[in-house]
Amino acid sequence: MKAPTNTCIVGLTWGDEAKGKIVDILAAEHDVCIRYNGGNNAGHTVAFEGDTYKLHLVPSGLFYPGVTCVIGGGLVVDPQVLLEEITTHEGKAVGLRQRLLVSSRAHTIWPWHKKIEALSEKHLGKGKIGTTLRGIGPAYADKANRVTAIRMGEFLRPDHLRPKVERIVQQKNAVFTKVFDADPLDAAAVWDEYAAYGRELAPMIADTTAWLHGAIEGGKRLLFEGAQGTLLDIDHGTYPYVTSSNASVAGVWPGTGVSPRHIHEILGVVKAYTTRVGEGPFPTELKDALGDQIREQGHEYGTTTGRPRRCGWLDTFAIRYAARLNHVDAIVITLLDVLGGLAELKICTGYTVGGKPLKEFPDDPTALQQAQPILESLTPWPEDISGIRAFDDLPSAAKAYVNRVTELVGAPVRIISVGPDRAQTIFRS
């Protein structure tokens, strides 16, 4: 039997760290790939053999025929999006429907979630969160509210679900019409559409907690895939400009039913620079031509919404906080190639507020809003490094950059990505 090694991949910044590529690579050494948080607000990209695949809900290990993919109970699942994604990828992801399990405990996204989010964000105007408008927050709010929530397992009992949907639509419609002066939803039309999704997804719905416990007992190797990033974690991120789930490693337990004591290795993923989408403080943001250059070189436009990402210098002060929080064993740096050819190169080592250096990453959004980055200049490199496959072959300036990240974050750099393709990867022992 193979030695069981359970790994967790977690983003250390505000998401979009190219975790999908890393999960895809590491899935080759695992038997099960499990998403534990979020929903189709995530956009994970996998590229190999000249093709690129965009994923939002299905775990990024789907392209290995021997890997079972699990959507954990910590997710909020839009059934329409999930079915679209399965249909889009099942040609390449052979036998996907037979090896995809969706937790009966996962919550579901319905049209009223997307509608209320759009109305609320519009109503907030400048004070908005800048969400992905996929209904994520309202679905998690209903999960906490309980009486207006629907879990995936309920699709297996349509006779029970139908009157429940009618009751919920009635309640939501009162808010749409009386609070927002908006049109109501048609409960019968919603039910007809979603009952059909439920019938198609039914064979994949399972008690994934029990299944995963069996997999552990059977010596299977598990790969946990976090969506978004630690700084977007509802509890530990830059609240209130966060997502609605535990995007840090804290999400594994509630999101899968697997105790963190089963995780043997935690890898924290960062880009070689930092980006953020949506609103919220971002101390190292470059609002100048250099920021634009990084955005263009890195193709920094959202996989899910197409929004241009805000770009800035690598924020090792924030990353050090996230690395400690997740207790990472090692770091993965992605998109290192994008920094090639910049006229200058800086890295953030800390913050000041009111001229005073901070000891810790702020727990308060106002302090973070006021934080000024302490920037250190490093030597840029002009070379294209996307064809390099060994650390020792990197230009000395690129090696010095990676080594400085290790020093500042306090964790070794295990994997470096120098391009989107599986092959464009440097592994270090």
Q: Whose Cβ is closer to ligand IMP: residue 61's or residue 340's? A: 61
Closest separation in Å from C-beta 191 to ligand IMP: 25
Residue 400 vs residues 397, 405, 406, 424: alpha-carbon distances, Å: 5, 9, 10, 20
- CA–CA gap between residue 118 and residue 305 (Å, rounded): 14
Q: Whose Cβ is closer to ligand IMP: residue 86's or residue 247's? A: 247
H-only helix segments in 252-364:
252-256, 289-297, 316-326
Return the SS3 of 50: coil
Q: Is 145 exposed, middle or buried (0-12, 13-18, 19+ CB in 10 A)?
A: exposed
Q: Whose Cβ is closer to ligand IMP: residue 82's or residue 394's? A: 82
Closest separation in Å from C-beta 42 to ligand IMP: 4
Closest separation in Å from C-beta 139 to ligand IMP: 10
Closest separation in Å from C-beta 237 to ligand IMP: 9
Asked whether 274 and 11 are in contact (CB, 8 A), the reply is no
Tokens linked to 138: 């309202």
| Catalytically annotated residue among 30, 31, 44, 142 | 44
Task: Please report the beta strands in 291-406, taking only residues with DSSP state E, as ranges in sequence order.
Answer: 310-312, 314-315, 330-334, 345-353, 356-357, 372-378
Q: Whose Cβ is closer to ligand IMP: residue 333's or residue 388's? A: 333
Residue 95 vs residues 67, 69, 369: alpha-carbon distances, Å: 10, 11, 48
- CA–CA gap between residue 151 and residue 27 (Å, rounded): 28
- CA–CA gap between residue 347 and residue 349 (Å, rounded): 6
What residue type is assigned to position 391 of the chain?
F
Which residues contact ligand IMP by CB under 6 A?
Answer: 14-16, 41-43, 129-132, 134, 136-137, 227-228, 232, 241, 243-244, 277-278
Q: Which residues contact 164 (CB under 8 A, 6 or more apart)?
A: 150, 154
337 is catalytic: no
How many Cα atoms within 13 Å fall on the side-chain side of residue 129? 22
Closest separation in Å from C-beta 37 to ligand IMP: 10
Q: Whose Cβ is closer to ligand IMP: residue 135's or residue 350's? A: 135
Closest separation in Å from C-beta 369 to ligand IMP: 15
Q: Pairing mode, if any, of strands 68-71 and 314-315?
A: unpaired
Q: How many CB atoms sit inside 10 A of residue 400's CB?
A: 15
Q: Whose Cβ is closer to ligand IMP: residue 242's or residue 331's? A: 242
Closest separation in Å from C-beta 121 to ligand IMP: 9
Asked whether 417 and 391 are in contact (CB, 8 A), the reply is no
Dihedral pair phi/psi, residue 304, rounded to 5°: -90, -45
113 is catalytic: no
Task: Please report the beta strands in 166-255, taking only residues with DSSP state E, as ranges in sequence order.
Answer: 205-206, 222-225
Closest separation in Å from C-beta 96 to ligand IMP: 22
Q: Whose Cβ is closer to ligand IMP: residue 140's or residue 197's? A: 140
Q: Whose Cβ is closer to ligand IMP: residue 11's or residue 198's? A: 11
Asked whether 61 and 33 are in contact (CB, 8 A), the reply is yes
Q: Is 315 exposed, middle or buried (0-12, 13-18, 19+ CB in 10 A)?
A: buried
Closest separation in Å from C-beta 414 to ligand IMP: 22
Q: Whose Cβ is closer to ligand IMP: residue 12's or residue 426's? A: 12
Residue nearest to ligand IMP (CB): 278
Could you list the active site residues? Answer: 16, 44
